[in-house]
Amino acid sequence: MDNLYKKLRDYSRSDYYGFHMPGHKRRGILTGCDLPYSIDITEIEGFDDLHHARGILKEAEERAAALYHSLETHYLINGSTTGILSAVMGCTAKGDRILMARNCHKSVYHAVLMHELRPVYIYPEFYADVELNGPVKPKDIENALDKYEDIKAVVITSPTYDGVISDIKSIAAVVHRKGIPLIVDEAHGAHLGFHPYFAKNSVSLGADVVIHSLHKTLPALTQTALIHINKNKNLKENLDISGEITQYLHMLQTSSPSYVLMAGIDECIEMMSYGGHMYLDKYAVLLQQTRESLQKLNCLKLLETELYDKSKIVISVKGTGITGRQLYMTLLERYHLQMEMAAGSYVIAMTSMADTKEGMKRLTDALLEIDAGLSSEKKLSVEFLLPPLRQIYTSAETKEAVGRGSGRRTQSLEWGKSVGKVSSEYAYVYPPGIPLIVPGEEISEEAAALLEKYRDQGFSVEGMKEEGKIEVLING
C-alpha cells in the first residue's frame, strides 16, 4: 500500500514533465526559496481526487479512520473550520433549532448564520476561584432538550481552548435518547485517546461527529484536520448525516487541495499508528515532570480542574498584581518564550510530543524566576475579573435573526453607546475566537464593558469593521 508522501517523493525524482498546474512546475528556481515545490502537484493520473477519493487518498482516509476507530473519516485541508461548518449544516435543515454551548468557536456561529438556524445556548460552569469557564453539564443539556423538543442537533467544544473537558459519554447518552446527533468540536484534542496519561477522545465516547485539528497538538502542518462521522444506532432512522456532511465538504473545501498538506496528514497518521505510543510515553513523563516542577510556584498557580487536558499548561496570575497579558509579554520579551494565548487572569502554554526537555526547562525556570519576584498579597489597581459567560449573555437577549443581505439599515456606534441596540456584527477576542456578541442580539452593558476592558488590557478584539465601534441595526 503506497504512502502518499513516498509516492510524491518518488514522482518528484522521476523524469515526468508536467504541463499542468501549479505554476511553479515543481521547481523553486524562480523564487529561490526552500519550499516543497517538488511534491506540490494537482490531481494528476495516479494521485486520486480528494472530492471523489477512490485510490491512494481513499486508502489514506481509511488509515486515519482505523487509527481513531471511526466508521468514516475525511481529510480537512481548510482546517477544522470547514469540518465544523459542514457538520452543523449537514446535521440540520435550514431554519432548524440547534442546541450549542455558548463558548463554541466562531465557526459554529457562522454555520448558524449561514443556515439561518435558531440557537439555544447552554452555558458552561464557571470556576470563580480561578476565573475559568468549566465543562458543559449533561443535566443542563437534558433540561434544554426537554424544554425545546424540536432541537435537531447538539454542538459542544471539548476540550476547550483552556483544556477543560466535558463528560462526553454522559452527554452523548442524553442526546441520543432524543435520537439526534452530537457534534463535538475536539479541535484541541487530536492527541487524546492514545495514552492512559490523557483523556479518551470523543469518537470512543459516543459522539456522532468529531472534528480534530491535527496541527494543533500533533506533528502536522498548519491547516490540516480530520472529521470523523459515526452514525449512532440511536439516531432517527431517516437521518443521513454522513451523506449530508460529505455534500457540504464538497461545497466548502477548496477544489484544489494541497498535496503537501495531505501528505503531511498521512505522515502524521502513520507516525501515530506505528510509533505514537513510544513518543507519547516520553511526552507523558516530560509533561508530568514539568507539571510537578510548576507545583512549586508560590504566587503564580498551575491550574488543574476536575477533568482537563494535561497537555495544556495554564498559569493563573490571580492575586499577584499582574495581568495575564503582562505575564505573556514578560515571557516573550525577557525569556523569548512565546505563549499560545493570554487571558485576563491567566496564560496558556500549549505543549506536544515534539517539545524538548530544554524547552520545558526554560519554561519552568522562567516561571519560577518570575514567581520569586511577585507577592501573593499584591492587588491590581484595577482588577481584571472575568465574569461567567452566563452573566454576560443572559441579558444579551436575541431579538431577531440577522442574516447576510437582509437589507436592514445599520450604523456604527462606540461600544459604550451601543448598549440596548441590536448588533449586526460579531465581537470576539481572538484567540480563542468565542463571540461575546452575536448578530441579532441586544448588546448588554456587561458585554460592552468587557470589550472595553479587553481592549484596554491590549487584547485583540475582532469581528467588527471599525476599531472601537460595533455595527447595530437602526431602530434596533
Judging by beta carbons within 10 Å of its beta carbon (0-12, 13-18, 19+), is residue 449 exposed, middle or buried? Answer: middle
Q: What is the grid cell recorded at 251?
A: 461545497
Strands 301-302 and 312-316: antiparallel
Mean pLDDT computed over 388-396: 52
Note whether 388 and 433 are within 8 A (CB): no
| Per-residue cell: 375 | 507577592
* Tens-place pLDDT, residues 213-256: 999 999 999 999 999 999 777 788 778 899 999 999 999 999 99
Q: Specify the DSSP class assigned to residue 350.
A: E
- Domains assigned to the chain: 58-274 (3.40.640.10), 276-372 (3.90.1150.150), 395-473 (3.90.105.10)
Distance CA 294, CA 43 (A): 49
pLDDT of 405 above 80 = no
For residue 357, CA distances in Å to 217, 314, 335, 350, 410 come to 17, 18, 16, 15, 54
pLDDT tens for 165-188 read 999 999 999 999 999 999 999 999
Read off the pLDDT of residues 307-348 as tens digits, 9 standing for 90 and up. Answer: 999 999 999 999 899 999 999 999 999 999 999 999 888 999
pLDDT at 107 over 60: yes
Distance CA 74, CA 218 (A): 17
The answer to whether 433 and 320 are in contact (CB under 8 A) is no
pLDDT level of residue 17 (50, 70, 90 thresholds): confident
Q: By C-alpha distance, which of 160, 149, 147 is closest to 101?
A: 160
Q: Which amino acid is at 218?
A: L
Cell 435518547 locates to 177
pTM above 0.85?
Answer: yes
Neighbours of 127 (CB within 10 A): 17
Between residues 426 and 432, which one has the greater pLDDT?
A: 426
pLDDT in tens, 109-134: 999 999 999 999 999 988 877 788 89
Comparing CA positions, the residue from 232, 224, 182, 261 lying closest to residue 83 is 224
Euclidean distance between CA atoms 299 and 320, whole angstroms:
6
- 367, with CB counted inside 10 A (0-12, 13-18, 19+), is buried
pLDDT value, residue 394 = 46
Report the C-alpha gap between 104 and 48 in whole angstroms. Answer: 35
DSSP-derived secondary structure letter, 300: S
> With b meaning 16 or more CB within 10 Å and e meaning fewer, what string describes 255-292?
eebbbbbbbbbbbbbbebeeebeebbeebbebbeebbe
pLDDT at 312: 96
Kindly report whether the peptide bond that precedes residue 159 is cis, defined as omega within 30 degrees of 0: yes
Greater pLDDT, 272 or 343:
272
- How many whole angstroms separate alpha carbon 398 and alpha carbon 418? 15
Q: Which residue type occupies 235?
A: L
Whole-number Å distance between alpha carbons of 69 and 79: 21
CB atoms within 10 A of CB 187: 26
Which of helix, strand or coil describes residue 120? strand
Q: How far is CA 312 from CA 21, 42, 309, in A?
A: 41, 37, 6
Please, are residues 364 and 203 in contact by the beta-carbon 8 Å criterion?
no
In 237-320, the DSSP E strands lie at 301-302, 312-316
CB of 12 closer than 8 Å to CB of 38: yes
More confident residue, 345 or 428: 345
The proportion of the chain whose per-residue pLDDT surpasses 70, expressed as a percent, equals 91
What is the pLDDT confidence band of residue 402, given thresholds at 50, 70 and 90? Answer: low
The residues, ordered by sequence, that sit 6+ positions from 227 with a Cβ below 8 Å of its Cβ are: 73, 74, 76, 83, 86, 87, 209, 210, 211, 212, 245, 249
